[in-house]
A = this chain, B = another copy of it.
Amino acid sequence: MDKVELNELLRQVAEGSISPEAAALQLKTAPIREVGEYAKVDMHRGIRQGVPEVIYGSGKTREHILGIAKTMLENGQKTVLVTRISEETADFVREGLGGTPLDYNALARTAVIGEKPVPTGVGTVVVATGGTSDIPVAEEAAITAEVLGNRVTRLYDVGVSGIHRLLSHMDEIMSARCIVAVAGMEGALPSVIGGLADCPVIAVPTSVGYGASLGGIAALLSMLNSCASGVSVVNIDNGFGAGYMASMINHLK
């Protein structure tokens, strides 16, 4: 299904000659391509949802990642983001791809294959962290948002136990269109930011901490119980999910 077919289908929906459900299902079903026996790649998601494809690297062999990436690129995808990928695997994939560039970030453990998109989001996404140790998760969020076409401002090490560090950045906070607040330990950052900001806040608990942090559960619970309005939460260490959600919000027009 190419763009012409896509437009024809949408015209039929507009005319009422095909129901929206039927069209949606047609759209969804058509472009699945099986990669070996191990994956079913959805080739039109980029077109449908306006986003580059993403490969969640964890639990996949390097051959699998390469195979999926190749299939994506061969089907017209211009940018592929791989998350949770080691440097060794990234090197293997880069080599296997031939000439297509691959940009590896050791902190975020992400690889960006192909060209970086120009920002298409409406405003700016702020990514803030409580401490220095939360930066890897924050970078996963920031790079995800950038690859998905957003301008990103980073505010790192502005945790609530030194509240003046956060207050000295009120202008970035007040002018953001969406804020990703990343924190481990007590996870209080999103509550304070949520009370200060006027835009949606995506809270990301991290597994930073020890003892009663329970691998990030303490921060997660703290964020779910935030008494600030306009805060929602993603999984522990899920920088990608927060960056994706932030991008989705920042592209609403």
Select one of B24, B38, B238 contacting A211, CB under 8 A.
B238
A109, CB-defined interface residue at 8 Å: no
**Do B199 and A248 touch (CB < 8 A)?**
yes
**Do A237 and B225 touch (CB < 8 A)?**
no
**Do A225 and B209 touch (CB < 8 A)?**
yes
Select one of B25, B135, B227 contacting A130, CB under 8 A.
B227
**Residues on the B chain within 8 Å of A12, using CB:** none
Binds B, one of A72-80, A87-95, A112-120, A159-167: A159-167
A245, CB-defined interface residue at 8 Å: yes
**Residues on the B chain within 8 Å of A210, using CB:** 58, 235-238
Q: A207-B211, A211-B238, A229-B54 are in contact. Are A160 and B192 (CB under 8 A)?
A: yes
Q: List A26-66 residues whose CB lies under 8 Å from chain B.
A: 28-29, 32, 37-40, 42, 48-50, 54, 58-60, 64
Binds B, one of A1-9, A96-104, A150-158: A150-158
**Do B211 and A220 touch (CB < 8 A)?**
yes
A216-243 vs B: 1/0 string, CB under 8 Å?
A: 1111111111111111111111101110
Select one of B29, B222, B232 contacting A218, CB under 8 A.
B222
Chain A interface residue count: which class? 35 or more
Q: Other than A20-B174, A60-B133, A209-B225, give 10 A-B pairs with Cβ distance below 8 A.
A: A21-B167, A28-B163, A186-B222, A186-B223, A187-B222, A200-B249, A210-B238, A211-B224, A212-B236, A213-B221
30 A-B interface contacts by CB (under 8 A): A21-B171, A28-B162, A28-B163, A32-B164, A32-B165, A32-B168, A40-B162, A59-B132, A162-B195, A163-B167, A186-B222, A187-B222, A187-B225, A188-B188, A188-B192, A199-B248, A200-B252, A210-B237, A211-B220, A211-B224, A211-B235, A211-B238, A213-B221, A214-B221, A229-B244, A230-B244, A230-B248, A231-B245, A232-B245, A233-B234
Give chain A's interface residues, CB within 8 Å of chain B.
19-21, 24-25, 28-29, 32, 37-40, 42, 48-50, 54, 58-60, 64, 122, 130-133, 135, 154, 156-165, 167-171, 174, 177, 184-188, 191-192, 194-196, 198-200, 202, 205, 207-238, 240-242, 244-245, 248-249, 252-253
